[in-house]
């Protein structure tokens, strides 16, 4: 039998009692074993060199992790010796939540001799601690001889590749879900549904839209999640700010749409300016849009046209207000005021209020007291 107990926050003796289906109790002297819920040991770590420009780690998997630690050893020790010495020669290179992972700067590579291999190993980590070491993935000197110590500059585009045949991919990273749309532009509608219970504790949703999709006015993008629903045309992201970033960048420029529940000091600050006679009905949500490429990250302050936004209202609080008075409000930081979106309309079936918005920012539902 396997029993899972709640998280323990203090050291000391712990008594676990199992109540059987017939209400009988387990014996006090029964021997039990326990384990700490650290991540599973990462498996299938692979490495290769892409176009003599960067080193790619890929295919590694684990469960119950928050992030990975990446370690490297450059030298002539055998893999057997590295394991026998309990991996003490490996040095921490970086941490990441991503798979695959791209290395564009590897200290010590320029000093590697003809007998040296480049060895990588990773651990998965969560709040309870690290996993065991993964398998060792390595490059021998013939794999890296053409790099000459010079790797390419950081490439945002390589970190957001979508597997062939998929319209988009979702990476679940602790309390954040990152969605990347495929560059395949033979679709007219992309519907991203993040309402599954597995995203119930997610506080941040990001959607990366590639440049060829941004430039295509015929693609509709629906983003459904527990915080803020958005319906837009891809060219709603094709703004002057975006074009400026394209001109200053290198490689593809993505439009990164970030939707976040704002429950912090800033939301507390801006809620002080709720108009008299109004009350908050739901959570404060923020929508940010950033043009991202290899060289620049530029926040966009407007949309090209309007997009449709939906926000869920708290049914219990809604009953305490005049439900028909509820509207979506946008916070204007220059005025320190909440501005009503007067075209707001209520969908009682879905429990959402909708409005057309023309700029990123902080939004909330307000109703009459």
The span from the CA of 85 to the CA of 28, in Å, is 42
Count of alpha carbons within 13 angstroms of residue 27, beta-carbon side: 4
206: β partners: 178, 258
Residue ranges of the chain with per-residue pLDDT less than 50: 149
CATH code (residue 78): 2.60.40.10
| Model confidence pLDDT, tens digit, residues 157-183 | 555 567 777 888 888 776 788 888 988
Count of alpha carbons within 13 angstroms of residue 261, beta-carbon side: 14
pTM for this predicted structure: 0.59
pLDDT score for 127: 86
CATH code (residue 351): 2.60.220
Whether 223 is covered by a domain: the verdict is yes
- Whether 309 contacts 329, CB under 8 Å: no
**Range of the structural domain that residue 303 is part of:** 163-368
Bin 165: left if φ > 0, else alpha if -120 < ψ < 50, else beta. left
Whether 91 is covered by a domain: the verdict is yes
Counting residues of the chain whose pLDDT is more than 90, the rounded percentage is 41
pLDDT score for 85: 94
Strands 327-332 and 361-368, sheet pairing = antiparallel
pLDDT score for 26: 60
Residue whose entry in the numeric block shows the structure tokens 């490297």: 72
pLDDT score for 23: 57
Whether 14 is covered by a domain: the verdict is no
Of 154, 183, 206, at which residue does a domain stop? 154
Clarify whether residues 142 and 228 are in a common domain: no
The span from the CA of 160 to the CA of 226, in Å, is 24
Q: What domain count does the chain have?
A: 2
């Amino acid at each position: 039998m396997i029993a899972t107990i709640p998280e323990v926050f203090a050291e000391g003796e712990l008594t676990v009692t199992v109540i059987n289906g017939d209400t009988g109790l387990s014996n006090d002297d029964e021997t039990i074993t326990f384990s700490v819920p650290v991540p599973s040991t990462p498996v299938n770590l692979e490495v290769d060199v892409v176009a003599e420009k960067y080193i790619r780690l890929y295919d590694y998997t684990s469960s119950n992790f928050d992030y990975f630690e990446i370690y490297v050893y450059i030298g002539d020790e055998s893999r057997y010796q590295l394991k026998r010495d309990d991996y003490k020669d490996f040095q921490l290179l970086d941490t990441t939540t991503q798979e695959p992972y791209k290395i564009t700067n590897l200290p010590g590579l320029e000093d590697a001799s003809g007998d040296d291999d480049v060895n990588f190993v990773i651990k998965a980590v969560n709040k309870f601690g690290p996993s065991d070491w993964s398998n060792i993935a390595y490059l021998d000197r013939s794999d890296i001889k053409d790099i000459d110590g010079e790797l390419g500059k950081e490439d945002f585009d390589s970190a957001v590749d979508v597997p062939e045949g998929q319209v988009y991919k979702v990476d679940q990273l602790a309390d954040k879900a990152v969605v990347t749309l495929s560059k395949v532009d033979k679709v007219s509608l992309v519907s991203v549904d993040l309402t599954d219970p597995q995203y119930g504790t997610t506080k941040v949703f990001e959607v990366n839209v590639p440049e060829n999709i941004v430039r295509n006015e015929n693609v509709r993008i629906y983003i459904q999640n527990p915080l803020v629903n958005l319906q837009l045309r891809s060219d709603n992201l094709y703004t002057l700010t975006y074009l400026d970033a394209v001109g200053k960048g290198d490689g593809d420029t993505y439009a990164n749409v970030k939707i976040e529940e704002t429950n912090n000091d800033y939301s507390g600050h801006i809620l002080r300016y709720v108009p008299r006679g109004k009350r908050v009905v739901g959570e404060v949500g923020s929508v940010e849009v950033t043009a991202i490429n290899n060289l620049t990250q530029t926040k966009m302050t407007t949309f090209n046209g309007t997009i449709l936004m939906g926000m869920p209202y708290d049914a219990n609080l809604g009953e305490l207000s005049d439900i028909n008075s509820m509207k979506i409000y946008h916070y204007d930081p220059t005025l320190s005021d909440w501005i009503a979106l007067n075209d707001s309309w209520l969908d009682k079936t879905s429990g959402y209020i909708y409005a057309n918005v023309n700029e990123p920012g902080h939004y909330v539902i307000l109703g009459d007291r």
